[in-house]
Amino acid sequence: MIPSWNGLELLKRFLPSVIAAAIQYSKQFKAPTEIVIVDDGSVDETVAWLLGQGFVAVDGKEKGTGDEGEIGRGGDGEIDSERHSSSAYSSTPSLRLIKNETNRGFGPACNRGFESTSHPLVFLLNNDVDVDVDSIAPLVENFADASVFAVHCRVFDLESGRECGSGKVGSFSSGFIRVHRSYVIVPEIGAGTESGEQTLRYSMFASGGSAMFDRRTFLEIGGFDRLHAPMYWEDVDISYRAWKRGLSVLYEPRSVVHHRVSSTMRNVNQRSVRRMQQRNRLIYHWVNLHDGLLMASHIMWVALLAFTAPLRLQPGFLVSLMAALKKLPQIRERRLEEKRAARRSDRDVFRIFTSLEKRPDVIAYDNYADLEATPSRQ
């Protein structure tokens, strides 16, 4: 499933790889697949082009909008595929298009896509991701464990070739939950010491740009939180909510994608982007951080950052803070819901990743230079 906003050129470039991977998986396992694109109010020619490639526009159950049902169907086009019923096997994926009349943001667009499909697993992709042809099967294998909520890919920057997405380690430091420290597995280092727990590749979150999700659980949890609309931190948020419900998120290095990083957002005002990221980072903590001492530390650090923002020449933090504070009524409601649903504490989650970092086959790093300096790496 691919949400897209004014992404015509990106879809022309990257969609064929998604279709090829779907065909490969269907042929190998004789399993039906479908590709759903949610066009989020594009003003370019995305919709017309997709219809021309064989996509069928369908009613995506857009809640509260009275959105129309089927608005068209395509004929033969450049993409070599054909539609089929999801209840019967075909080596080619069905092609479905859902159209938002207005731009609603990444999270709401994704939620609409998840609601519209009936397949048990959803491979969520950005529109600027090139998918290796054999990437789907390894992701699917992990869902044999019913406790797995999501599994994400190994990601390489399309332009530099550098690895930019691997397993993520979670921790708490200086008043904030840390989610972006990465790790790789070096199998030869841990040879002969593996156990069932040892071989699991836990990850703090599954990126919304290249990860597979259990659809039913995704919807039961509530999907991407609308508090984060239009975008940013919704994938971190839902992953942490899954962890605290007793589920798990995994990293699958056999599934490889190449990402043209932030292609869609390059044309958006970057100051607004940074402020939105910071606002949603605060909302994430206020909804999900339930440990009293850790929350006290967070509040202290937020106050310190707010007080020193002018001195640090970062007035944007104050703008983000005020924007988050305006949502306090909704945040309080969501916080109570998440506290009731939690089966793990915050510290329980962090202990999982403390144990992960202690494994002999795990190399954790903060930046790519640290990884390059490692003599042996996967």
What pLDDT tens digit does each residue of the chain (378 aa) get?
A: 999 999 999 999 999 999 999 999 999 999 999 999 999 999 999 999 999 999 999 876 544 333 333 323 233 334 433 333 344 567 789 999 999 999 999 999 999 999 999 899 999 999 999 999 999 999 999 999 999 999 999 999 998 888 888 999 999 999 999 999 999 988 765 544 454 455 679 999 999 999 999 999 999 999 999 999 988 999 999 999 999 999 999 999 999 999 997 666 666 677 888 999 999 999 999 999 999 999 999 999 999 999 999 998 899 999 999 999 999 999 999 999 999 999 999 999 999 999 999 998 899 988 776 666 665 544
Alpha helices (H) in the chain, listed in sequence order: 8-29, 46-52, 106-116, 136-141, 215-221, 234-244, 270-288, 292-308, 316-325, 328-341, 346-358, 368-372
Nearest residue to 109 via CA among 56, 59, 39, 166: 39
Per-residue burial over 292-316, b = 16 or more CB atoms within 10 Å of its CB, e = otherwise: eebeebbeeebeebeeebeeeeeee
Q: How far apart are alpha carbons 6 and 4 in whole angstroms?
A: 7
Pairing of strands 94-100, 56-57: parallel
Give this prediction's pTM.
0.88
Whose structure tokens read 């982007």?
Answer: 273
Q: How far apart are alpha carbons 185 and 181 in whole angstroms?
A: 14
The pLDDT score that the predictor gives to residue 175 is 97
Angle between helices 316-325 and 328-341 (to 10 degrees): 70
The pLDDT score that the predictor gives to residue 52 is 95
Number of H helices and E strands in the chain, helices first, is 12, 14
Q: Tens digits of per-residue pLDDT, 325-348?
A: 999 999 999 999 999 999 999 999
Name beta bridge partners: 99.
39
Please say whether the beta carbons of 67 and 169 come within 8 A. no
The pLDDT score that the predictor gives to residue 264 is 62
- Which strand ranges, in their side-by-side order, compose the sheet holding 176-185? 167-173, 176-185, 362-365
The pLDDT score that the predictor gives to residue 281 is 97
Q: How far apart are alpha carbons 364 and 354 in whole angstroms?
A: 11
Nearest residue to 142 via CA among 244, 214, 242, 219: 214
Please say whether the beta carbons of 61 and 84 come within 8 A. no
